[in-house]
Every structure is written in C-alpha cells, then in structure tokens.
C-alpha cells in the first residue's frame, strides 16, 4: 500500500530552470535510467532488478526513484548542477525490504547538488564520491506496442492510494484491434474496445462464472471497474496505465520484454 506523503505533492508547480543550457543540453520532459554507478572509484551494485530513474517534468519538478518509493520536488538545473529548490523531496511511503536503503542513498545524492552533463542521450550526474551514468528512457526502453502485448496487472489505484493485491500478477489483458481478452486472475474475460484520442472505450465484457472470494474477488472487482466505459490510457516503456473518466481511479499493467 502506498500512502502519499507531503502536502501539495500532486499540485502543478512552475518551471524552474529545466531549460537551462548548462551541462550541454535541456533535460525538460526527459526521463533517464541508470546504466552504471561508481562510488569512491569502484563500481556500485544496485539492489537486484532496480535502476535509478530520473524524470524532469515540463512543470519544473524532478521525479526520482531507486526501485522502491517515488520522490519528487521542484528543481533547478542552472549552472550545471541539479538543485532542489523547495527544501527537499516529498516521497511515497512504501516498505521495500532490501531496497529502502537505496532510497536514502539517492536522496542524499540529489540533496548534494550534484553536477550534471548531457552528451546526446547520456546523462551523467556526479558528487565528490559518486557518479551515475543514465540513458534516455526512450532509447534504453522504447514503448511497447499497445496491441499484441500481454499486459499483467500491477497496481490498482483508488483516489490517492495505490495498492498491489495478492495474486494480481495472475490478472492480465491483451488488446488486438477492437478486441480485448484476458483474465481477472479468477475468470477469463473478453469483449470489444474502441480507441481514439488517447482514450479506450470498453464495451460490456463477458467473463466465465467462477465464484471469486477473498483477494481474488477484490482484484477482479477492481479490474472490471477499471475496464468499464471510457478510460484514458498511456504507455511508457513496458507499463500501460488506464485512468477512469473521473480521474479518481485506474490500474497499471506491466509487460515482460
């Protein structure tokens, strides 16, 4: 369960220096993924299956994570340094055994006003002891196609709370033209879907009729609620996000490359 921390965490913030040419280019609107880390001149191994992720938004924020919690705050990149301008990073508050220490490590680096340089699609940030090399996410992990990909349920979003239900990885969907097929993790599903202007509109879905109790029942109910009527969708790398028309709920899926 993720509880969002910090007042005003989701408010739009004014741009603050992301278009500065210092360091060799603009970071605005870009996301970077780590490819190598050195600390005190030696390679540093990150926790298994994790990467440093830095996203520089159009409205002047830095959104960062190191494989567990998401952190964000206003940032300036003037004078070839990444400087947090609102006193620090607001963070989600999720427990991740074996990964949480990595959050603190990345927070310390970003709070230390690291230097940055950009060479084509490679971003390098460095402090006195640590250097992180990162590659533009669109190059490192291009977006998967919406159609033909098996999307596995990852997160259920209700208001400001996102959760991962036990057994959610058994639920999945695949879109092919005007058809959607998949599983709620308990029952098979199928139906029609149309696509236009960044939105999907699901018709009435039919499912098999196995009774689903406990966590499986909660997962099924949440998924079918998200696959109802018109929803906004976006794909970034291997993640598909669906957001309900009222903006108060949705689901995210992931896919194996």
pLDDT tens digits, 20-60: 433 456 899 999 999 999 999 999 999 888 899 999 999 99
DSSP code, position 25:
S
Same domain, 158 and 84: no
Closest to 54 in 3D by CA, of 85, 86, 18: 18
CA–CA dist 236, 176 (Å, integer): 19
In-domain check, residue 225: yes
CB atoms within 10 A of CB 134: 25
* Rounded CA separation 31/57 (Å): 8
Indicate if 82 and 173 belong to the same structural domain. Answer: no
The one-character DSSP state at 140 is H
Residue 11 DSSP class: S
How much is the pLDDT for 24? 52
Residue at which a domain ends, from 93, 119, 140: 140
pLDDT at 178 over 60: yes
The answer as to whether 146 is a domain residue is no
> Does residue 179 sit in the same domain as residue 205?
yes
Mean pLDDT of 223-248: 93
**CATH number of the domain within which 187 lies:** 2.40.128.270
145 within some domain: no
Distance CA 145, CA 180 (A): 14
Could you tell me if residue 170 is inside a domain?
yes
Report the first-to-last Cα separation within the chain, whole angstroms: 26
Last residue of a domain, one of 106, 140, 174: 140
Q: How confident is the model at residue 97 (pLDDT cuts 50, 70, 90)?
A: low
pLDDT for residue 92: 78
Domain that holds residue 119: 2-140
Q: Which helix (H) or strand (E) holds 104?
A: helix 100-111
**Residue 181 domain-assigned?**
yes
Q: Quickly count: other Cβ atoms within 10 Å of residue 79's Cβ.
A: 12
Residues 60, 8 within the same domain: yes
Gap between the Cα atoms of 136 and 210, Å rounded: 45
Residue 86 pLDDT level (bands cut at 50, 70, 90): confident
The total number of structural domains in the chain stands at 2
Q: Are residues 111 and 70 in the same domain?
A: yes
State the chain's mean pLDDT as an integer: 87
φ/ψ of 223, rounded to 5, equals -70, -45
Establish if 95 belongs to a structural domain: yes
CA atoms within 13 A on the CB side of 234: 4
In this structure, the answer to whether residues 114 and 164 fall within a common structural domain is no
Band (pLDDT 50/70/90 cuts) for residue 208 is very high
| Domain-ending residue, one of 94, 118, 140 | 140
pLDDT at 78 over 80: yes
Residue 54 CA: distances (Å) to CA of 3, 70, 87, 147, 171: 21, 10, 18, 28, 29
Contact 110, 82 (CB under 8 A): yes
Plot region of 154 (φ>0 → left; ψ -120 to 50 → alpha; else → beta): alpha
pLDDT score recorded for residue 48: 86
């Amino acid at each position: 369960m993720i509880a969002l921390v910090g007042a005003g965490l989701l408010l739009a913030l004014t741009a603050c220096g992301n278009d500065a040419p210092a360091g060799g280019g603009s970071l605005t609107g870009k996301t970077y993924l780590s490819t190598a880390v050195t600390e005190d001149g030696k390679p540093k191994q990150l926790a298994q299956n994790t990467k440093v992720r830095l996203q520089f938004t159009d409205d002047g924020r830095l959104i960062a994570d190191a494989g567990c919690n998401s952190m964000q705050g206003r940032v300036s990149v003037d004078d070839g340094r990444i400087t947090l301008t609102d006193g620090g990073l607001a963070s989600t508050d999720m427990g991740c055994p074996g990964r949480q220490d990595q959050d603190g490590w990345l927070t310390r680096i970003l709070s230390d006003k690291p230097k940055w340089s950009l060479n084509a699609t490679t971003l390098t940030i460095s402090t006195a002891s640590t250097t992180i090399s990162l590659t533009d996410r669109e190059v490192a992990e291009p977006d998967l196609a919406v159609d033909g990909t098996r999307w596995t349920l990852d997160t259920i979003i209700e208001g400001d709370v996102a959760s991962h239900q036990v057994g959610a990885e058994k639920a999945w969907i695949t879109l092919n033209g005007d058809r959607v097929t998949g599983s709620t993790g308990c029952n098979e599903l199928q139906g029609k879907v149309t696509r236009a202007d960044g939105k999907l509109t699901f018709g009435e879905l039919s499912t098999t009729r196995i009774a689903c109790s406990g966590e499986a029942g909660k997962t099924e109910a949440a998924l079918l609620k998200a696959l109802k009527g018109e929803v906004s969708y976006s794909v970034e790398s291997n993640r598909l996000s669906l957001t309900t028309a009222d903006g108060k709920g949705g689901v995210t899926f992931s896919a194996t490359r």
